[in-house]
């Protein structure tokens, strides 16, 4: 036995074989199904409106000729439509010009969603769609929105729905200009797209006042599925040890990350960094500091940069430590920035074997406008400090940060030393030997110099020979050690009791004689560590702890 529901429009019959209560097309707030979409011979235009009384009104653009409200009886014929059409002639029909309203029992329940009814609109024929599109485009033009890019986009069926979308976008902080920058956002349903996406972004850490700014930066996110596209990316970020409270910061800094596929660039870039020695636990902090590295292709961006830096003499282990601290180095363009800056260093007298040391100490030197800065500082050092270009090159080799140091800051310690009676030539020699002098606080230098003259009774010529004296802490290093060897009546140079570790200092105090000071180890990055005894220590020592010591010794960021 088959239950059929018949609707007749202008002589065309629409048949629904399933009971109306099982139709998947419409559900009221009370849970009952009311209507199904019917295809008629002449396309009808049915406009659905949801009302608070849970009634369903049916309007039409063409006059409804007749409607059979309910026919239900067993059909055993092989041609049920012909048999039933015969019954239509005797059925009670409504007036040809009448407008129909069907209602269900009034429900006391409130609507399920108290949000814009953006998905309830018009089931239109082709002509009606064209008319609606023209009306909506005229409305958008009146607001100043250029609808040219919306030609292939399915627009809402009524102007009220489009108005809701525009007003909602403006409410979160977008302007008409922002919408014109990406008009395709007008194709997003407020209830199905915009509200779920914004709610999830706020949940993961983007504050509500910044949601508009985020959408301006990456409006394509409004098309994304929260479950299928956004949630997996956030899980990936948490999986590489990005702190939960930093997720919002990372997304605001690089919104496009939400559009990446997990099996694509993000995974390969992380895997490559780990393969060159980056600690997996440092990947999270690296991405937090510089999230753009997740969008860099290994073959075209990361690997060429790494290979070039290794070719300059930087061991991969040290390069990995450098990238952990300064991942933004990977963002510098290899051909347009890094290589020209390396060539610039060489043109200013930096020796080839020292390039690796310079880069390891100050990785940012690869990305700054280097030629202009070096030219300015070289002229300043020659004019004010009486240091020639060759001496300036030695200064840069030892302390490359000087290229970015303010010249007023540089002059203060220089003027202090000259005011203490040290000749300009001697000051220049001190700076070449210990460039850190130009970055010291004058007040600290005053205290150290006073202790040298008044407590230790030393001549200032000693600091000319050992300018590093000013770089040591007076309270934690100079005073305690001076008291120790002064109590033993030992007379020694400044370098003897300051330029050694605590363990070595204790050994020297226990010794019966003062050994002759030997030259410290020299290290050229990319090669081997040459010790004074002719011994060679490879940077690929099997002992991991020694390797870590080597890294800490050679890299100071």
Taking the C-alpha atoms of residue 277 and residue 282, their distance in angstroms, rounded to an integer, is 11
User: Who has greater pLDDT, 54 or 272?
Assistant: 272
pLDDT of residue 487: 85
Identify whether the C-beta of residue 444 lies closer than 8 Å to the C-beta of residue 476: no
C-alpha 533/C-alpha 555 separation (Å) is: 24
d(CA 278, CA 465): 41
Confidence at residue 507, expressed as pLDDT on a 0 to 100 scale: 86
What is the gyration radius of the CA atoms in the chain, in angstroms?
Answer: 39
pLDDT in tens, 210-231: 999 999 999 999 999 999 999 9
List CB contacts of 299: < 8 A, sequence separation 6 or more: none
What's the pLDDT band for 70 if we cut at 50, 70, 90? very low
Whole-prediction pTM value? 0.67
- HSE-CB at 33 with a 13 A cutoff on CA atoms is 12
pLDDT at 383 over 90: yes
pLDDT at 87: 45
Q: Give me the phi and psi of 362, to 5 degrees please.
A: -140, 80
Cβ atoms of residues 12 and 41 within 8 Å: yes
DSSP per residue, 42-85: SPP-EEEEE-TT-EEEEEESS--------------SS-HHHHHH
Per 3-state DSSP, what percentage of the chain is helix, strand, and coil (rounded to 5)?
60, 5, 35
Which pLDDT score is estimated for 308? 97
* Range of lowest pLDDT (221-225, 342-346, 493-497): 493-497
Give the N- to C-terminal CA distance of the chain in Å, as an integer.
84
Q: How far apart are CA 482 and CA 80, in angstroms?
A: 113
C-alpha neighbours within 13 Å on the C-beta side of residue 424: 9
Cα–Cα distance, 88 to 83 (Å, whole number): 9
Q: Indicate whether 239 pLDDT > 70.
A: yes
* Mean pLDDT, all residues of the chain: 76
Which residue reads 């049915």 in tokens? 46
How many helices and strands, by DSSP H and E, does the chain display? 24, 9
Q: Which CA distances in Å does 381 have to 341, 388, 402, 435? A: 20, 7, 11, 12
**CA–CA gap between residue 320 and residue 276 (Å, rounded):** 7
Encoding tokens for residue 279?
A: 């600690």
| pLDDT per position as a tens digit, 467-488 | 999 999 999 999 999 998 888 8
């Amino acid at each position: 036995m088959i239950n059929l529901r018949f609707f007749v429009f202008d002589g065309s019959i629409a048949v629904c074989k399933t009971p109306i209560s099982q139709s998947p097309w419409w559900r009221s707030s009370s849970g009952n199904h009311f209507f199904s979409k019917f295809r008629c011979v002449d396309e009808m235009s049915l406009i659905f409106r949801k009302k608070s009384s849970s009634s369903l009104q049916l309007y039409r653009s063409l006059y409804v000729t007749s409607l059979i409200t309910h026919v239900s009886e067993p059909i055993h014929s092989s041609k049920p439509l012909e048999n039933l059409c015969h019954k239509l002639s005797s059925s009670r029909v409504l007036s040809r010009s009448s407008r129909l309203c069907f209602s269900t029992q009034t429900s006391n329940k409130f609507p399920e969603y108290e949000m814009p009814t953006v998905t309830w609109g018009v089931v239109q024929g082709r002509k009606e769609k064209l008319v609606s599109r023209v009306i909506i485009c005229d409305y958008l033009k009146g607001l100043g929105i250029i609808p040219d890019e919306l030609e292939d986009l399915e627009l809402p069926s009524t102007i009220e729905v489009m108005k809701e979308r525009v007003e909602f976008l403006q409410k979160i902080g977008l302007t008409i200009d922002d919408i014109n920058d990406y008009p395709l956002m007008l194709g997003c349903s407020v209830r199905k797209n915009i509200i779920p996406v914004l709610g999830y972004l706020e949940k993961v850490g983007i504050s509500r006042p910044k949601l508009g700014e985020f959408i301006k930066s990456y409006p394509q996110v409004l098309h994304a599925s929260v479950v299928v596209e956004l949630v997996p990316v956030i899980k990936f970020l948490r999986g590489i040890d990005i702190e939960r409270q930093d997720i919002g910061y990372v997304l605001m800094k690089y919104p496009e990350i939400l559009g990446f596929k997990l099996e694509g660039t993000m995974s390969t870039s992380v895997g490559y960094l780990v393969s060159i020695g980056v600690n997996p636990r440092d990947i999270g902090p690296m991405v937090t500091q510089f999230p753009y590295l997740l969008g860099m292709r290994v073959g075209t961006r990361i690997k060429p940069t790494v290979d070039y830096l290794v070719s300059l003499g930087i061991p991969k282990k040290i390069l990995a430590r450098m990238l952990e601290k300064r991942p933004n180095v990977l963002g510098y363009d290899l051909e347009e920035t890094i290589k020209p800056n390396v060539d610039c260093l060489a043109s200013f007298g930096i020796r080839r074997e020292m390039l690796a040391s310079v880069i390891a100490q100050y990785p940012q030197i690869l990305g700054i406008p280097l030629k202009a800065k070096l030219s300015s500082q070289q002229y300043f050092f020659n004019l004010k400090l009486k240091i020639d270009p060759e001496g300036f090159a030695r200064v840069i080799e030892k302390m490359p940060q000087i290229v970015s140091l303010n010249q007023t800051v540089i002059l203060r310690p220089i003027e202090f030393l000259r005011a203490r009676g040290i000749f300009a030539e001697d000051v220049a020699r001190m700076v070449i030997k210990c460039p850190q002098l130009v970055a010291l606080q004058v007040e600290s230098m005053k205290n150290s110099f006073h202790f040298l003259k008044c407590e230790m009774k030393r001549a200032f010529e000693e600091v000319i020979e050992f300018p590093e004296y000013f770089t040591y802490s007076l309270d934690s290093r100079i005073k305690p050690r001076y008291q120790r060897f002064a109590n033993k009546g030992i007379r020694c140079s400044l370098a003897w009791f300051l330029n050694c570790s605590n363990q070595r200092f204790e050994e020297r105090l226990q010794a019966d004689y003062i050994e002759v000071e030997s030259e410290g180890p020299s290290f050229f990055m990319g090669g081997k560590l040459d010790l004074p005894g002719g011994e060679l220590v490879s940077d690929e020592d099997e002992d991991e702890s020694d390797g870590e010591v080597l890294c800490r010794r050679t890299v100071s960021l």
